[in-house]
Amino acid sequence: MGRRRNLPIVALAMAVIAVQLLTAAAGKPQYLTQLTMAGYYSLVIVGLTLLMGYTGQISLGHAGFFAIGGYTSGLLTTYNLHPLIGQIPVSILQACGLLVSGKDLYGADLLVVRPWAACVVALLVTIGIAYLVGKPVLKLKGHYLAMATLGFGTIVYKVVLGSSLVGAADGISDIPAFPLFAGLVVTGKSALRAQNYYVAWGLVLGAMALLTNLIRSRVGRALRAIHGAEDAANAMGVDTGRYKLQMFVLSAALAALGGVFLTHYNGGIGPSEASVMKSVRYVAIVAVGGMANLWGALFMGVLLNFLSLRGSFGSYDDAVFGLILLAIMLFAPDGLLRAEFARRLPGLRRGQKAAP
């Protein structure tokens, strides 16, 4: 049983390798850049699928968590501590080996936080914020939950847009590469394109393995119970408040992970990553993918982000995602890529009422 369970993960791994070989064979390695970026966005999307599709809690603020991750890591790895050398906090960090020195473009001395330390801090900050925000927000339902998360996302956007510390409207640029282990480096250098593609998709594989196992577990059953009828789940002894909060924090952490890696990959981050339109886009992709369908969301996330990043939608980018959202919710509210929807189709044609 155990082996068959993980079959989709193995299949995904093989597909990842096949795509890389195909792009190499077709002489189009530049596609790997967009596929890498789409991979990092997919982390946000599968996390949001867990929250929206399986737990039934909408979030219109996930771009905020993505941005908190990316901005924290970006700020820490670019903020020059060199003028502060000798002061006690900086000395402590230096002694712990958390800082790295270098030269900037003009040859001036630079002392910044090491990327891996910045990544850990970024994740911890996001988890902390998600916990603090999630605790009161998840008590709300329906419109109130939607508006509260939208409000949170807008606050993050307005703060990064208005703060000169993080470059205001320009965002942060010249963010250094992120050396992982065994010579792997997260960077946008085209020579390391294939390597970075595998780093991104390795993370996606890990996230999918975690989430697919999670939804099959006792936790997953509890989540579906919450989605179905929260009061009933509560009455059956499911600690609904705790599960909702845990899933909120987990999905926020996945979003932040995507944010951190994409920021180091791109070498920069701007306020548009925190915009409400980005959050809506994530929701649209989860909806198209089938709400409670991790594989559908992953597939649509890669497809739509790839097309969007290649510029296929031109200046109609936002419009495309708005219309997708509208069309799906009007005609197939349970999502397009959903087994039940396909099974219901013949029944619908005969005019039967589908079983709920």
Residues forming contacts to other proteins in the complex (CB under 8 A) are 56, 58, 60, 136-137, 139-144, 146-148, 150-152, 154-155, 158-159, 161-162, 276-277, 280, 283, 287, 316, 318-319, 321-323, 325-326, 329-330, 333
d(CA 279, CA 325): 12
Residue ranges in the chain assigned as alpha helix (H): 2-5, 7-25, 31-49, 62-76, 88-95, 115-137, 142-162, 193-216, 218-228, 230-235, 240-266, 276-289, 294-310, 317-331, 339-349
In terms of CB distance, is 27 or 351 closer to other proteins?
A: 351
Pairing of strands 178-179, 109-113: unpaired
User: Would you call 102 helix, strand, or coil by DSSP?
Assistant: strand
Query: Shortest approach of other proteins to residue 160 CB, angstroms?
Result: 11
Q: How far is the CB of 64 from other proteins (least distance, A)?
A: 12
CB of 71 vs other proteins, minimal distance in Å: 16
Shortest Cβ 326–other proteins spacing (Å): 3
Please state the closest distance from residue 20 (CB atom) to other proteins, in A.
35
CB of 185 to other proteins, least distance (A): 36
One-character DSSP codes across 33-94:
HHHHHHHHHHHHHHHHHIIIIIT----S-HHHHHHHHHHHHHHHTTS--GGGTTSHHHHHHH
What is the C-alpha to C-alpha distance for residues 214 and 180, in angstroms, rounded to an integer? 27
Report the C-alpha gap between 188 and 251 in whole angstroms.
Answer: 26
Closer to other proteins by CB, 121 or 325: give it. Answer: 325
Helices 240-266, 115-137: inter-axial angle, 10-degree rounding: 150
**Which one, 210 or 325, has the nearer CB to other proteins?**
325
As measured in angstroms, the least distance from the Cβ of 333 to other proteins is 5
Q: What's the chain's length in residues?
A: 356
For residue 137, give both structure tokens: 């927000």
How far apart (Å, rounded) are the C-alpha atoms in residues 289 and 199? 24
Q: Which is nearer to other proteins, 150 or 199 (CB)?
A: 150
**Spatial CB neighbours of 21, under 8 Å, sequence gap ≥ 6:** none
Give the angle subtended at the CA of 308 by the CAs of 296 and 51, to the nearest 5°: 40
Comparing CB distances to other proteins, the nearer of 142 and 237 is 142
Provide, rounded to whole angstroms, the least separation between the CB of residue 95 and other proteins.
37
Nearer to other proteins, 134 or 176 (CB): 134
